Structure 1
Amino acid sequence: MAAPMLRGRCLGRCWALACIDSGSRHGRGAATGFTSSRKRGQSFVAQQPLLTAQKSRKGEHKWAAVVGLEIHAQIASNSKLFSGSQVHFAAPPNSLVSFFDASLPGTLPVLNRRCVEAAVMTGLALNCHINKKSLFDRKHYFYADLPAGYQITQQRLPIAVNGSLAYSVCVGKKWRQVITKTVRIKQIQLEQDSGKSLHDELRSQTLIDLNRAGVGLLEVVLEPDMSCGEEAATAVRELQLILQALGTSQANMAEGQLRVDANISVHHPGEPLGVRTEVKNLNSARFLARAIDYEIQRQINELENGCEILNETRSFDYKLGCTVPMRDKEGKQDYRFMPEPNLPPLLLYDTASLPAGADPQQVINIDRIREQLPELPSETREKLIQQYGILPEHSFALLNEVGLLEFFQNVIKETRAEPKKVTSWVLNIFLGFLKQRNLAVNESPVTPSVLAELLNLLDRKVISSAAAKQVMDMKRGNPRAINKLIGLVRKVTHNRADPTVIKEILEKQLSS
């Protein structure tokens, strides 16, 4: 029952987006009878209609969507893949460019050991086979932010192949049923990033920033095993958590450290796959889900109206909520792949094949990297459920916010309150406090010890639950809560205290 439920829900999202798009084009509002909900840390989920969503708009045929992903993750390294240039997101334009990055004649690539180790660790965490011999290739194309006219990558023999990524989706009543799905990983390869083009339409100019040129990337190619935007977004989010747990990538999508290209097609079940389109450079899990769902329904509408699907590259306009054409492919683009002549084969070893007398600093030992693998997010979630008895959806929420799990565990250490009560306070009251102030967990003025002390007072019945929430309201800067406290002080002092002075003292105390 769970798989059809998820499939229906995915198609329901596509149906809703089509109705909304159709309504907006005809001057109408969103389709009636459609409700939605979203929990913190989870993708948008359509709840109605589930049954009709499996049919086309005309109600004649069923459609199946196929989604594959190419994910580019920036490797967490202080220097670039083939040069000693530093990597820094906020550096002034063209301030971190070596002669090799600028492709000056006579410069040669020097492989960054840290990037190779990051690729091996990521491959092991994703159940990949690590190739002990991998090759580098040149991928030729011409663009202003690629000064060499080619990109060094690993097309023919990548560093890791044949892996898998398991991801979980919460469904059912109150999101308490967890469906685990698996997507196959075709390969993981090392490659250079390109520079950045900044288009100034006002002056009709294109500005080039080469700071990003040559930065090391992990390209993770996911097989087309997904069927909707929600599945794709959940898989990407799980990969993001894994990369962050490994320390191989910060995977900050807002800074372009994790970018996704989606390949999408639709067909009737039992028939050959349809013509695919590629939606490029999606840098948000939410936009990824929206772009895929829109593109699925767009293709269904085109086919039902007797049109053909073009093999083209599209981008997602997040303001309009739709995909727009970038360029058509008209056959397979010829990148003229050729072996990279300036880089020898990359050789890796395990303990059994390690050459006698080899210098550990000169070789990369796969087994040694395997021993350094940390606890993965799926293992952490299972441990939280078993150790603290919390609900599955709460285990997802604790991991989805950076730093929240550590905060939760520190509160648990310092309080006698039940873990379920701590979970409720952290996910509802504390996160609401952060959201209102637009703060990250590590920027919070409320420390784990402060929240633990509050919960201890609550547990000993020194204060009531309402009073505890009032304390958080005051910390949150809620005017009503502060005004109430000012009123109490005025009452105790028989209206002799100056309200302005009281407010200044309270705000100073609350901000400390």
Structure 2
Amino acid sequence: MANFHSDFFHLILKQKQKYNTNVLQVLNRKCVEMAVLTSLALSCRLNETSLFERKHYFYADLPAGFQITQQRQPIAVDGEIKFHVFTPGIHKSPYLKSSKIKQIQLEQDSGKSLHDENTAKSLIDLNRAGIPLMEFVFEPDLIDGEEAAALVKELTLILQLLGVCSGRMEEGALRIDANVSVSNRDNDLGVRTEIKNIGSVRAVAAAVKYEINRQISILEAGNKIFNETRAWNMVNKTTIPMREKEEKEDYRFMPETNLPPLRIHVREDLPNENNLVDAVILKKQLPKLPEQIRERLKNVLQISPEIIIALMSDLILLQLFDKIIKKDGNRDPTLVAKFLVRDLLNFLNKNKLTIEFCIPHADFIGQLTDLLQNKTVNLIIANKILYEIISDTKKSPKEIVEEHNWFLISDEEELEKMCLEIIEKNPKIVSGYKKGKKKLFIALMGQMAKITNQRADMALVANIMERLLKS
């Protein structure tokens, strides 16, 4: 069983400067509005009144000795997030999962701990100490690391669509602490460990998987799990001990005296007389959320669930798809989506480029999918054309095709003539194929790709070649 929460610190408290050196914290209205908007998007129940407390603990990353938080009466409770889980190579098909949100709370951030194993020293970066954050606490209803990673992806997309958070884990805008426990009982949870220092979505899956296996090994050996905080070592792909985990009593919660109760207007039947943050108005401002977008992609555009999951794994990729489709209503959504999630992403990975690289090239990519749809080129040539983007070409995809004579060869008579020539020149391969060595068919297809400079319609070639070999 896995239970975890994620933090991001784009929000919450600001300081009101006066002419003297005394500084008091006051709430930032805009940040509270973002927290309310997020709570509404996640189907949470907003508390009309929420309270701030001081959580005391004494680490080097917390100079004040306490953290302002909302432990007992947070801004929102009882939410739910639904998401699809699918990892190629692990799952045969996507499945729907949901996770309950226990609460959303506003907090102050601590400093950043940096651990150097080579020198056996720890350093503290205090630049973010006191910077605000919003914390999500989930119920323990996930079963493995892949579900945890899928939840993080969905939450990130929601926050990006709301304009609340960039979701960039590498910049610290979104952080994940994973609480993991294992049990062979149906109802009781085991002793949990908390994993910190998780820096990416895939690291979430890897860290949770490792920790589950580590705890199972300990229990099977007859030993006990200790309630502790561990860190994910991204180099060795292991979790390492940091410190023992505190109990609630150790934190000595007490009311935050400098911040009054936070009140929110939530009732539609009553006027907002005191100019409170208005949840009724904010609810009307909610954008289309992932579930609505997913329904459109599936039911209106007829895109498969697997492609939808890949397409929605990155907001910029999704926006690129929308821009290309809206530019020309005759474009095939499935063809465009497949090209983006398979060929374009593969191109970006090979060249160590990010999806942001494609933003100024949306028209070029759209025109390239037109050439595929019109059977002007095949996928092999389309991938060659993609490399022209790197050279910052001013030519259109069609002009590039004309310059290199990369037009698709799809004339059946021409292709059949080429197939006959290949069959005549390769009698040993043909003989072996007819004797049952079906893999030799690939060699014949390779000959066709070679003599046509990879410009042939290979699907059509396969049909012609099979027919000729049977005759």
TM-score, with length taken from structure 1:
0.70
Deviation at 1:254, TM superposition (A): 0.5
Aligned-partner SS, 2:26: coil
Aligned with 2:13 (options 65, 72, 81): 81
**1:407 is aligned to 2:342:** no
**1:233 is aligned to 2:233:** no
Aligned-partner SS, 1:396: helix
Unpaired runs of 5+ in structure 1?
1-65, 85-97, 478-483, 490-512
Cα distance, 1:176–1:312 mapped onto 2, change above 3 Å: closer
Between the aligned partners of 1:268 and 1:463, the Cα distance in structure 2 is 56
User: 1:193 corresponds to which residue?
Assistant: 109
Aligned with 1:215 (options 120, 131, 152): 131
User: 2:309 corresponds to which residue?
Assistant: 396
Deviation at 1:105, TM superposition (A): 7.6
Q: Which amino acid is the alignment partner of residue 305 of structure 2?
A: P
Over aligned residue pairs, what C-alpha RMSD do you find?
A: 3.2
User: 1:155 corresponds to which residue?
Assistant: 71
Q: Which amino acid is the alignment partner of residue 410 of structure 1?
A: K
State, as a whole percentage, how many aligned pairs show the same letter. 45
Between the aligned partners of 1:440 and 1:473, the Cα distance in structure 2 is 14
Aligned-partner SS, 1:118: helix
**1:145 is aligned to 2:61:** yes
Between the aligned partners of 1:266 and 1:357, the Cα distance in structure 2 is 50
User: 2:182 corresponds to which residue?
Assistant: 266
Between the aligned partners of 2:384 and 2:363, the Cα distance in structure 1 is 18
Cα distance, 1:474–1:307 mapped onto 2, change above 3 Å: same
Q: Which amino acid is the alignment partner of residue 254 of structure 2?
A: M
Aligned-partner SS, 1:316: strand
User: 1:383 corresponds to which residue?
Assistant: 296
**1:452 is aligned to 2:366:** yes
- Superposed CA deviations along residues 148-172 of structure 1, whole A, max 9, x for unmatched, are 1111000111000111111111379
Between the aligned partners of 2:388 and 2:291, the Cα distance in structure 1 is 36
- Superposed CA deviations along residues 241-275 of structure 1, whole A, max 9, x for unmatched, are 11111111112111111112222222223463322
Aligned with 2:333 (options 409, 415, 419): 419
Contact 2:268 2:280 in 1 (8 A): no
Aligned with 1:183 (options 70, 76, 99): 99
Deviation at 1:461, TM superposition (A): 4.4
User: 2:2 corresponds to which residue?
Assistant: 67
Structure richer in helix, relative to its length: 2
User: 1:303 corresponds to which residue?
Assistant: 219
User: 1:347 corresponds to which residue?
Assistant: 263
Q: Which amino acid is the alignment partner of residue 313 of structure 1?
A: T
Contact 1:70 1:222 in 2 (8 A): yes
Cα distance, 1:410–1:201 mapped onto 2, change above 3 Å: closer
Q: Which amino acid is the alignment partner of residue 301 of structure 1?
A: S
Between the aligned partners of 2:49 and 2:187, the Cα distance in structure 1 is 39
Aligned-partner SS, 1:323: strand
Q: Which amino acid is the alignment partner of residue 449 of structure 1?
A: D
Cα distance, 1:355–1:301 mapped onto 2, change above 3 Å: same
Q: Which amino acid is the alignment partner of residue 368 of structure 1?
A: I
Contact 2:272 2:278 in 1 (8 A): no
**1:119 is aligned to 2:35:** yes
**1:468 is aligned to 2:379:** no
- Superposed CA deviations along residues 221-243 of structure 1, whole A, max 9, x for unmatched, are 00001111111111111111111
Deviation at 1:384, TM superposition (A): 1.1
Contact 1:294 1:323 in 2 (8 A): yes
Between the aligned partners of 1:205 and 1:178, the Cα distance in structure 2 is 44
Cα distance, 1:451–1:373 mapped onto 2, change above 3 Å: same
Between the aligned partners of 2:195 and 2:120, the Cα distance in structure 1 is 26
User: 1:130 corresponds to which residue?
Assistant: 46
Between the aligned partners of 1:260 and 1:173, the Cα distance in structure 2 is 25
Runs of 4+ off more than 6 Å: 171-176, 200-206
Contact 1:71 1:261 in 2 (8 A): yes
Cα distance, 1:332–1:203 mapped onto 2, change above 3 Å: same
Aligned with 2:24 (options 101, 108, 113): 108
Between the aligned partners of 2:39 and 2:238, the Cα distance in structure 1 is 34
Aligned-partner SS, 1:423: helix
Aligned-partner SS, 1:110: strand
User: 1:440 corresponds to which residue?
Assistant: 354
1:158-173 counterparts in 2 under 5 A?
Answer: 158-170=74-86
Deviation at 1:82, TM superposition (A): 3.0
Between the aligned partners of 1:277 and 1:231, the Cα distance in structure 2 is 18
Cα distance, 1:445–1:134 mapped onto 2, change above 3 Å: closer
Cα distance, 1:141–1:420 mapped onto 2, change above 3 Å: same
Deviation at 1:330, TM superposition (A): 7.3
Aligned-partner SS, 2:24: coil
- Superposed CA deviations along residues 177-201 of structure 1, whole A, max 9, x for unmatched, are 4321111111000001112345678
Cα distance, 1:106–1:383 mapped onto 2, change above 3 Å: same
Contact 1:143 1:149 in 2 (8 A): yes
Unpaired runs of 5+ in structure 2?
392-399, 406-471
Contact 2:108 2:131 in 1 (8 A): yes
Aligned with 1:252 (options 159, 168, 174): 168
User: 2:457 corresponds to which residue?
Assistant: none
Between the aligned partners of 2:4 and 2:187, the Cα distance in structure 1 is 22
TM-score, with length taken from structure 2:
0.76
Between the aligned partners of 1:308 and 1:138, the Cα distance in structure 2 is 33
User: 2:232 corresponds to which residue?
Assistant: 316
Q: Which amino acid is the alignment partner of residue 302 of structure 1?
A: I
Deviation at 1:328, TM superposition (A): 2.1
Between the aligned partners of 2:26 and 2:376, the Cα distance in structure 1 is 65
**1:367 is aligned to 2:280:** yes
Between the aligned partners of 2:196 and 2:90, the Cα distance in structure 1 is 34
User: 1:429 corresponds to which residue?
Assistant: 343
Aligned-partner SS, 1:82: strand
Cα distance, 1:466–1:234 mapped onto 2, change above 3 Å: closer
Between the aligned partners of 1:176 and 1:201, the Cα distance in structure 2 is 40
1:86-101 counterparts in 2 under 5 A?
Answer: none
Contact 2:320 2:359 in 1 (8 A): no
Aligned-partner SS, 1:375: coil
Between the aligned partners of 2:25 and 2:89, the Cα distance in structure 1 is 55
Deviation at 1:432, TM superposition (A): 2.3
Deviation at 1:369, TM superposition (A): 0.8
Contact 2:106 2:132 in 1 (8 A): yes
